[in-house]
């Protein structure tokens, strides 16, 4: 199989120069970021994006400068959850200015580039059937541009909210070889743990990325009237030993968290005394401890 370097001519596109320049921009941008964290699951529907939004907010409330990349190119949700869907991106000589929440968390998301609410992400090709062949490559390219072409300034933390799938983390590691660590999200069900365990193996054993810890989301519910805790799923569901060894915290289910996501309101800021908020603040604190130890 030939590489670009083997081709007799690039038809004047200077493709090698373009790729090299973009890689250099990426590394220059990452030089101003102290810590990079990928938040992943492998399993969809576990509330990973919701946790990302609130962990980022929790770190911001702790005085950290935080940026967030919505790495789910085809199903972006963080702009709505973080209350910046109406933000207008500003293009400057130093890069695109990210959207900023009322509390100061910075965000870049494909959702900020779509004209309509129902507009899907489409890649230019002769047909969408042809585009499917190149979709993974184009998604990685878009993610690279999100990081490299955004004027983040100096960041204490850059969080990347990954879409479901065990194949997503290798793409991030390709872009960020020195990825600081991974936070893995699961829920207390055997199906979720079966899939998420594969993500841990991929990160820890194959890619050699440090596992910061596991967050068990929707671990239980708290009665709104009496405060008693109860299982949200089957009473027989318990965390596998793989997860118990590295648990950061268990987040209780709270309907107010969902309402805050829909309204673009930071849950951990609006309901700081709620059990779920206190657990999320603990997760943020343990992430800081991980990097400071």
Check if the beta carbon of residue 101 is closer than 8 Å to that of residue 57: yes
C-alpha to C-alpha distance for 186 and 44, rounded to whole angstroms = 9
With H, G, I as helix, E, B as strand and everything else as coil, classify residue 283.
helix
Check if the beta carbon of residue 274 is closer than 8 Å to that of residue 256: yes
Q: What is the DSSP string of 189-214?
A: SHHHHHHHHHHHHIIIIIS---EEEE
C-alpha to C-alpha distance for 260 and 66, rounded to whole angstroms = 20
Residues 251, 256, 257, 258: what is their CA dihedral angle, to the nearest 10 degrees? 120
What's the pLDDT at 137?
A: 65
Check if the beta carbon of residue 217 is closer than 8 Å to that of residue 254: no
What's the pLDDT at 127?
A: 54
What's the pLDDT at 230?
A: 77
Q: On the CB side of 41, how many CA atoms lie within 13 Å of its CA? A: 25
What's the pLDDT at 251?
A: 94
What's the pLDDT at 133?
A: 47
Rg of the chain taking only CA atoms, in angstroms: 20
Name the one residue in this structure whose structure tokens are 């309901």: 271
Check if the beta carbon of residue 76 is closer than 8 Å to that of residue 109: yes
**What are the C-alpha distances in Å from 87 to residues 63, 90, 107, 112?**
23, 9, 10, 7
pTM: 0.86
Check if the beta carbon of residue 98 is closer than 8 Å to that of residue 151: yes
What's the pLDDT at 222?
A: 79
Check if the beta carbon of residue 85 is closer than 8 Å to that of residue 79: yes
The stretches in the chain having pLDDT less than 50 are 1-2, 4, 133-134
Q: β-pairing, 99-100 with 106-108?
A: antiparallel
| Of 86, 77, 145, residue with least CA distance to 115 | 86
C-alpha to C-alpha distance for 79 and 212, rounded to whole angstroms = 25
The helix or strand, by DSSP H or E, that contains position 171, with its residue range, turns out to be helix 168-175
Name the one residue in this structure whose structure tokens are 């991030």: 172
The helix or strand, by DSSP H or E, that contains position 140, with its residue range, turns out to be helix 128-148
Q: What domains are defined for the chain?
A: 14-292 (3.40.50.300)
């Amino acid at each position: 199989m030939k590489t670009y370097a083997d081709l007799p001519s690039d038809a004047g596109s200077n493709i090698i120069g373009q790729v090299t320049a973009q890689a250099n921009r990426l590394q220059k941008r990452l030089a101003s970021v102290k810590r990079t964290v990928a938040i992943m699951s492998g399993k969809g529907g576990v509330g990973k994006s919701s946790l990302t939004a609130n962990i980022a907010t929790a770190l911001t409330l702790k005085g950290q400068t935080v940026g967030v990349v919505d790495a789910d190119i085809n199903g972006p949700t963080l702009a709505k959850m973080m209350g910046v869907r109406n933000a207008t991106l500003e293009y400057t000589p130093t890069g695109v200015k990210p959207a900023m929440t009322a509390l100061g968390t910075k965000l870049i998301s494909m959702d900020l580039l779509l004209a309509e609410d129902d507009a899907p992400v489409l890649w230019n090709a002769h047909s969408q059937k042809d585009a499917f062949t190149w979709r993974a490559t184009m998604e990685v390219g878009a993610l690279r541009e999100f990081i490299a072409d955004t004027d983040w300034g100096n960041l204490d933390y850059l969080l990347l909210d990954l879409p479901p799938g065990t194949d997503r983390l290798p793409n991030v590691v390709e872009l960020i070889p020195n990825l600081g660590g991974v936070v893995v999200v699961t829920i207390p069900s055997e199906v979720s743990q079966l899939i998420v365990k594969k993500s841990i193996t991929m990160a820890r054993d194959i890619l050699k990325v440090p596992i910061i810890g596991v967050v068990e989301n929707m671990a239980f519910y708290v009665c709104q009237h009496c405060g008693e805790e109860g299982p949200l799923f089957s009473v027989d569901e318990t965390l596998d030993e793989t997860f118990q060894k590295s648990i950061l915290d268990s987040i209780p289910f709270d309907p107010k968290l969902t309402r805050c996501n829909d309204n673009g309101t930071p849950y951990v800021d609006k309901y700081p005394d709620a059990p779920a908020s206190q657990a999320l603040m603990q997760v943020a604190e343990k992430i800081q401890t991980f990097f400071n130890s």
